[in-house]
Every structure is written in C-alpha cells, then in structure tokens.
Amino acid sequence: MEIEAATVSKGRPREFCVDAALAAALRVFWSKGYEGASMADLTEAMGITKPSLYAAFGNKEALFNKALDLYEREKTDYMRAALDAPTARGVAERLMYGALDMYSCPENPNGCLGVISSVACGAEAECIREAVVARSATAKQAMLERFTRAKDEGDFPDDVDPAGLAAFLTAMNQGMAVQAGAGATRAELERLVETGLKLWPGR
Amino acid sequence: MEIEAATVSKGRPREFCVDAALAAALRVFWSKGYEGASMADLTEAMGITKPSLYAAFGNKEALFNKALDLYEREKTDYMRAALDAPTARGVAERLMYGALDMYSCPENPNGCLGVISSVACGAEAECIREAVVARSATAKQAMLERFTRAKDEGDFPDDVDPAGLAAFLTAMNQGMAVQAGAGATRAELERLVETGLKLWPGR
DNA sequence: CAATTTATATACCACCCGTTATGGAAATCG
DNA sequence: CGATTTCCATAACGGGTGGTATATAAATTG
C-alpha cells in the first residue's frame, strides 16, 4: 500500500502548476462562495479542464478544502502575529488593522471567505460550513486564551469579560467582512476600526 | 387601461392565502438565501404549485422582493422603536437586545435575511444584493442622524464620531447575525451584547 | 342553467450543475 | 525504438434549475 505519492513520475508530467491553479481556485471561491462557484468558473480561472481538475484535486469539495487551507494559512499568520502583541490593546489593533488591510486590498476579492462560506451554504454543503465554523472557533479560542492572560496581566478592567472581548473582536471582524462584501470603501472601514479601538477598554 | 386590480373577482377565487404563502416564502429565503432557495423548496413550503406562485407573485425575484418587504416591515418597526429611545445608550441597548431577540428566537431561522442575501449572492442576482444593500444603507443613515442629534445633546464625548458609532452598531448587528447563523447559542450572543454595551461610550 | 373567467395540476422546456467515460497525444522507462 | 503511463480534450451523463404551455376543475355572472 502506497502512502506517499510517487516522487518520480513515470508518464507524461502535468502541464500546469498545482499551486497556481489552487490560488486561482481560491480567488473564485472567495468571490462567489462555495455553491456560487461553478466548475466552469473554476476551470476557466484555473486554466485547466475539468478532468485535469478532478485528477489533481479530487472533486469540488476537496478543492474547496485545499483552497480553504491556503486561505487560512496566510490569515493564520497575521492572526498569530497579532496575538503576539505585548498588550491586549495591541492585539486588538493588529487584528483590526490586519482585517482592514485584508478587506480593503484591491487585489483581493471583497469580503471574507470564511464568512461567505459559513453564511452562504445550502443544506447539501453542510460539511463545508462545519469545516469553516470549526476553524473560526479555533481562532476565537486563541483570542480567548490571549485575553485571559491579558486580564491576569491587568491589561483591562476586571469587569470586562475575556470571552466577551473575543466575541467582540470576532463580531467586528465579521461586520467588516460583511460591509466590505457590500462594497464599503476603505475609509468607511477605517472609521469603523478607529471607533472600535476608541471603545476598547484601557489606555 | 386598468391601473387598479379588480376589486370584485369574476372567476374562480384562489384557494390559498397570499399573505400566509408569502410568510412561508420568507422563511425559506431566510433559511437558505435567495439562490439557495429553489422553486421546489418555495412551492412546497408555501403549499401551492408553481403556476399558482407565478400567477400570484410574478417570478422568483419579485417574490423575494415582496418577502424582503415583509421582513423589513417588522424589522423596521423594532429599529424605529429603538431610535426613539431618549439617549444614545438607550438606542444602542434597544438595537442590540432587539437583534439578540430576533437572532435567538427559536421560531426564526438562524441569522439575518439581509446579511445572508448580501453575502450569498452570485453575479446573476446582483440586483438582489443591491436591493438589500440599499435598505441596509437607509437603516445606517437613520442611525447616523440619531447619533448626530445625540452628540449635540451631549450623550457621548466629543471625540467619538456619530458615523463611527453607526458603523459600529451595524457591524455588531452583522457579527451577531453571522455568529447566529453559525450556530451560536443565545448565551454567547448575550455575552457579546453585554460586552458591546460595556464598551459603549458614556454612563 | 349556460357562459365565462380564473385557479389548479400535470407535464414539459431548454439550460446548467457536478461528475465521468472515451480517445488520442505526449513524455518517460526499458 | 517500443511499451507504458499519464495527461489533455471532447462529449456525454443523470439530475436539478427557473419558467411555462396545456388541459381540467371550480367558481361567479347573466
């Protein structure tokens, strides 16, 4: 039983770059959501034909999961960097401005793949939603742990709840994603972030 | 040229209640989104056949817009009541707890029809998104006017921006909708609301 | 009771969906 | 070179989509 894929290919090598194709697929899912992205959309953007796609990625769901991996890999990076900030306020700043940069970057599709996929999800694609929600939960959990530590360190008053702050930041992030998807400008999102930080406890 | 529909029907009267059918359609759109709701889903929930639906409502898009009217009519009520609160903090309280009640009512589908429809919207249904976004904009505008008045009345410090507060409340509402759609419990949403109110300026 | 007008029910349309079978081209290994 | 293995392109599959034509049933008007 072969576990590893063959390191030396015997037949004709594939003519496209898997990583580039996956990046293209991510953009399509990011723009249209899981169900909104048709195989025709995907193959056209990826520059390959359907049989090639199925041979390389399995099926639509597997392709989405790999695209989601790619998306989260980058996003996780910026979140981890944010959680490494020395103070809770620093964490909030980096998280919100990071989200702002992501959502207002003109090269990115509008909105957040996670929000799009968890909201726009017909019953048939329940497993997609579950996968996305699970990842979102781990992100929230990481925030919670960071803020419990921050509370111990006296970063904010005792009457505010670390779990509440984590939920708050999550909601702000989701709200930004929705407004960005609806066409909000960077200036509008900036004002939202600044207001959120003005309300943030402490300092 | 007849402008008004005939007030006295001549032929066989329809056997179903239009309002009840529309309410059923609203629940389907609310649960599955515009594109996720198929005509089969709709007719089954409404208890009528496709020709009856098309005769009574026109087509899928017209049906959605009427369902959206119905949805907004109720939601607008609670928002207007919220904006009538004497203080800005009262407005925020009523808006957030109103949203909480709406999103955690077990009889309602999860999430917010507006968020679902604006986020989960393939290119073909662009007009749907535009309709939803336009309504959301008017709601935000009403908040903005209320908070500019509140600022003149000294409800919160001068260094906070009324437009920022409106965007903030909108984002909180959207975040609650996303988290509710993802299966958050009422307790979790309550904690989010309480944190939001704890951060609210003044008092 | 006719005649008319409308609602309903069945069936159907062309199209798009995700997925796969088929046939031929191309590159590697012996 | 020959054999083999894999990739690519075309086309088709069954099923679901929004929307509709046709025919029958039912109620109102005269």
Q: What is the pLDDT along chain A (203 residues), one digit of tens a residue?
A: 333 344 566 777 888 899 999 999 999 999 988 988 999 999 999 999 999 999 999 999 999 999 999 998 887 789 999 999 999 999 999 999 999 999 999 999 988 998 988 887 666 677 788 888 888 889 999 999 999 999 998 898 888 899 999 999 999 999 999 999 888 999 999 999 999 999 999 87
Chain A and chain B share a number of CB contacts under 8 A equal to 145
Q: How far is the CA of B58 from the C1' of C6 (A)?
A: 16
Amino acid at A95: L
What is the arithmetic mean of pLDDT over B170-198?
Answer: 94
Q: Does A3 reside within a domain?
A: no
Residue A27 CA and nucleotide C5 C1' are separated, in Å, by: 54
Residue B125: the pLDDT is: 73
Q: What is the pLDDT of residue B136?
A: 87
How many folded domains does chain A comprise?
1
**CA of A163: how far to CAs of A145, A160, A197, in Å?**
9, 9, 17
Asked if B119's CB is within 8 angstroms of A120's CB, the reply is yes
The per-residue pLDDT for range B55-105, each reduced to its tens digit, is 999 999 999 999 999 998 887 789 999 999 999 999 999 999 999 999 999
Are residues A171 and B170, on separate chains, in Cβ contact within 8 Å? no
Q: Token pair for residue A177? A: 């994603």
Residue B140, C-beta contacts closer than 8 angstroms, at least 6 positions apart = B166, B167, B170
For residue A182, list chain B residues with Cβ-Cβ distance below 8 A: 118, 129, 133, 136
Q: Which of B115, B164, B175 sits opposite A171 (nearest CB)?
A: B175
Residue holding tokens 């928002």? B79
Tell me which residue of B76, B188, B193 sits closest to B143, measured CA to CA.
B76
Q: What single-letter DSSP state applies at residue B85? A: S
Distance (Å, whole) CA A8 – CA A11: 9
The answer as to whether B66 is a domain residue is no
Nearest to B170 by CA among A196, A57, A107, A32: A196
B171: nearest CB among A33, A179, A201: A179
What pLDDT does B5 receive?
A: 41
Residue B131 lies in a domain: yes
pLDDT of residue B202: 80
User: What pLDDT does A5 receive?
Assistant: 42
Angle at A123 between CA A117 and CA A128, to 5 degrees: 35
Which protein residues, judged by their CB atom, are less than 7 Å from any atom of strand C?
Answer: A 8-13, 35, 37-41, 50-51, 54, 59-61; B 6, 9-16, 48-52, 55-56
B7 part of a folded domain? no
pLDDT of residue B177: 95
Asked whether residue B43 is assigned to any structural domain, the reply reads no
List CB contacts (< 8 A) between A36 and chain B. 35, 120-122
Of B169, B154, B99, B75, the residue nearest A192 (C-alpha): B169
**Chain centroid offset of residue A191 CA:** 22
Q: Which of A168, A12, A190 is nearest to A99 (CA)?
A: A190
For the cut 70, the answer to whether the pLDDT of residue B1 exceeds it is no
A18 closest CA partner among A55, A61, A68: A55
Residue type, A132: V
- Neighbour tally for B144: CB within 10 Å: 17
Residue B32 contacts A, CB cutoff 8 Å: yes
- pLDDT for the residue A64: 93
Q: Which residue has the higher pLDDT, B151 or B202?
A: B151
| Mean pLDDT score across all residues of chain B | 88
ipTM score here?
A: 0.85
Angle CA B147–A182–A187, to nearest 5:
60
Handedness of CA A174, A176, A179, A183 (dihedral sign): negative
Q: Which nucleotide is nearest to B8 (CA to C1')?
A: D28
What percentage of chain B has pLDDT greater than the value 90? 62
pLDDT value of position A123: 66
Q: How many CB atoms neighbour CB A22 within 10 A? A: 17
B17 belongs to a structural domain: no
Q: Which of B182, B200, B175, B193 is nearest to B101 (CA)?
A: B193
Indicate whether B178 belongs to any domain: yes
For B90, the domain range is 71-199
Residue B138 Cα to chain centre, angstroms: 12
Residue B198 region, left (φ>0) first, then alpha (ψ -120 to 50), else beta?
A: alpha
The answer, yes or no, to whether residue B3 has pLDDT greater than 50, is no
* CATH, residue B84: 1.10.357.10
Let me know if residue A144 belongs to a domain.
Answer: yes
Distance CA(A106)–CA(A93), nearest Å, equals 21
Which residues from A are below 8 Å from B136, CB to CB? 182
Q: Please check whether residue B161 touches A, CB under 8 A.
A: yes
Q: Are B91 and B164 in contact (CB under 8 A)?
A: no
What's the confidence (pLDDT) of residue A24?
Answer: 95
Q: Which of A82, A68, A144, A81 is nearest to A113 (CA)?
A: A68
Q: Using one digit for the tens of pLDDT, what is the confidence trace for A46-89?
A: 999 999 999 999 999 999 999 999 998 887 789 999 999 999 99
* Contact status, residue B135 vs residue B123, Cβ threshold 8 Å: no
Q: How far is B117 from chain A (nearest CA, A)?
A: 8
Q: Tens digit of pLDDT for each residue in B42-51?
A: 999 999 999 9
Whether B171 sits inside 8 A of A176 (CB atoms) is yes
Q: How far apart are the first and last CA of chain A?
A: 60
Q: Which of residues A22 and B127 earns the better pLDDT score?
A: A22
